[in-house]
C-alpha cells in the first residue's frame, strides 16, 4: 500500500513532468513560427496560406522553385519613409557638404531653399527642382566614389524622430517575411523608386538581398579610363525611373520572369502589383502595407505627398490584395 508521503511525492513528480511537457510544447510552437512579430490575423494567415499552396508538391497552385519570385518596394514597405524619403535626406545633406564649393547656390533655387531650411520653397520647386538636386548631389563622380559617400553617410546619419541610423529603421515583420520566403525557395528582389546605387551598398547586410537583386532608379553611367584605370563615371542624366509604370518594365528587364508575389505600400506600387497578380495561372499574392500606427511609427494613406496610398487602396478590395494593418497586424514595428 502506497504511503501518503510517497503519493504526494509521486503527484508532484507527475505535475512537474506535465509542466515540462507543456513548456516544451510551447517552445516547439514558438520555434516553428517563422513570423513571430506578426499577430495571428487574417493578413498573416493569407501570406502563410499562399506560401503553403505554391510550395506544396502536387498542389494545383504548385510553382517550381525557379519561378518563385517575390518583389518588394523599399520606402514604406521595408523601412520608414516619413517625413521625407531617405534619399531626399541624403541629397539635402550632400548639398550642405558641397555648398562651400558652390557659393552661387546661396542665390539659386532649389539649393537656396535647402541651405536656408525652407522646405516650403523646396516643395514649390516641384519635380524639376528635386531632379536637379539628385543630379547635382549623386553625379560627377565614379560609382566607387559614390558608394563610399553613401556608406559614410549611412554610418553617421540619424533619423530626426527616432534618433537611430536609417538602416536600423527597417520593419522587423518584413525582415522575418523575407527570410520566410527564402526558406521556402523564393528569390527576393527589391524594386524601388529609390536610387539603385543608394541601396546596393547595404541591402545585403540589412535585408539579405544581394546587389544583383536590387532594382531601382538610376542615372546614366559612362565608361572612362581614369589614371589608367577603368571606371564608371556617373553623369548628371536620368537613365531610368523605377516607379509606377516603370516598375513592371524594370522587373522585366532585370529579372526576366513575372513575380508571383509583390509587396508595396503606395500608389507608386500599383502597377507592380497589377503586373504580378493579374497574370492568371497559379496562386498569386499582392500585399499592401497600410501605415496606421501613429504611436509606433506614422499613420497616413490618402492625404500625404510621401507614400500616398489612394488608388492602390481602392484597387486592393477589387483585386483581392491583402492589406496589412500595421497597428493591428504587427506585434512590433522596427527591428530591435
Query: Pairing between strand 214-226 and 229-240?
Result: antiparallel
pLDDT tens string 63-120: 999 999 999 999 999 999 999 999 999 999 999 999 999 999 999 999 999 999 999 9
Instruction: Report all structural domains of the chain as residue ranges with CATH numbers, in order of start.
Output: 36-82+165-329 (3.40.50.1000)
Determine contact, residues 311/267, Cβ cutoff 8 Å.
yes
pLDDT tens string 148-187: 999 999 999 999 999 999 999 999 999 999 999 999 999 9
Determine contact, residues 216/195, Cβ cutoff 8 Å.
yes
Nearest to 288 by CA among 81, 78, 77: 77
CA–CA dist 29, 223 (Å, integer) = 54
Residue matched to cell numbers 519613409? 81
CA–CA dist 168, 147 (Å, integer) = 19
Residue 218 pairs in a beta bridge with 240
Q: Which residues contact 15 (CB under 8 A, 6 or more apart)?
A: none
State the Cα angle at 214 between 211 and 218, rounded to 5°: 105
Reading the chain (336 residues) residue by residue, the pLDDT tens digits are 444 444 334 445 444 443 444 444 444 444 589 999 999 999 999 999 999 999 999 999 999 999 999 999 999 999 999 999 999 999 999 999 999 999 999 999 999 999 999 999 998 988 888 889 999 999 999 999 999 999 999 999 999 999 999 999 999 999 999 999 999 999 999 999 999 999 999 999 999 999 999 999 999 999 999 999 999 999 999 999 999 999 999 999 999 999 999 999 999 999 999 999 998 888 999 999 999 999 999 999 999 999 999 999 999 999 999 999 999 999 999 988
CA separation, residue 88 to residues 11, 20, 123, 146, 202 (Å):
67, 54, 12, 16, 17
CA–CA dist 111, 131 (Å, integer) = 12
Amino acid at each position: 500500500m502506497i504511503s501518503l508521503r510517497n503519493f504526494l511525492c509521486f503527484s508532484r513528480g507527475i505535475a512537474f513532468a506535465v509542466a515540462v511537457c507543456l513548456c516544451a510544447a510551447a517552445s516547439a510552437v514558438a520555434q516553428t513560427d517563422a513570423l513571430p512579430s506578426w499577430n495571428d490575423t487574417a493578413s498573416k494567415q493569407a501570406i502563410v496560406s499562399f506560401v503553403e499552396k505554391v510550395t506544396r508538391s502536387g498542389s494545383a497552385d504548385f510553382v517550381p522553385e525557379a519561378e518563385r519570385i517575390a518583389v518588394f518596394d523599399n520606402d514604406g514597405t521595408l523601412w520608414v519613409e516619413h517625413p521625407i524619403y531617405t534619399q531626399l535626406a541624403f541629397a539635402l545633406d550632400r548639398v550642405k557638404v558641397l555648398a562651400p564649393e558652390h557659393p552661387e547656390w546661396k542665390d539659386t533655387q532649389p539649393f537656396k531653399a535647402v541651405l536656408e531650411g525652407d522646405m516650403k520653397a523646396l516643395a514649390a520647386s516641384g519635380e524639376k527642382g528635386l531632379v536637379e538636386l539628385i543630379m547635382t548631389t549623386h553625379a560627377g563622380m565614379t560609382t566607387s566614389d559614390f558608394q563610399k559617400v553613401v556608406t559614410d553617410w549611412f554610418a553617421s546619419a540619424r533619423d530626426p524622430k527616432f534618433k537611430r541610423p536609417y538602416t536600423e529603421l527597417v520593419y522587423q515583420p518584413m525582415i522575418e517575411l523575407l527570410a520566410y520566403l527564402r526558406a521556402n525557395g523564393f528569390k527576393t528582389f527589391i524594386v524601388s523608386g529609390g536610387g539603385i546605387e543608394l541601396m546596393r551598398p547595404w541591402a545585403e547586410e540589412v535585408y539579405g538581398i544581394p546587389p544583383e537583386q536590387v532594382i531601382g532608379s538610376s542615372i546614366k553611367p559612362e565608361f572612362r579610363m581614369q589614371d589608367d584605370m577603368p571606371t564608371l563615371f556617373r553623369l548628371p542624366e536620368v537613365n531610368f525611373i523605377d516607379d509606377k509604370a516603370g516598375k513592371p518594365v524594370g522587373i522585366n528587364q532585370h529579372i526576366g520572369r513575372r513575380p508571383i508575389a509583390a509587396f508595396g505600400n503606395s500608389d507608386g506600387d500599383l502597377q507592380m502589383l497589377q503586373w504580378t497578380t493579374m497574370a492568371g495561372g497559379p496562386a498569386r499574392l499582392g500585399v499592401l502595407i497600410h501605415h496606421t500606427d501613429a504611436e509606433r511609427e506614422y499613420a497616413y494613406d490618402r492625404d500625404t505627398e510621401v507614400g500616398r496610398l489612394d488608388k492602390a487602396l481602392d484597387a486592393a478590395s477589387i483585386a483581392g490584395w491583402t492589406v496589412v494593418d500595421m497597428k493591428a497586424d504587427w506585434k512590433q514595428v522596427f527591428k530591435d
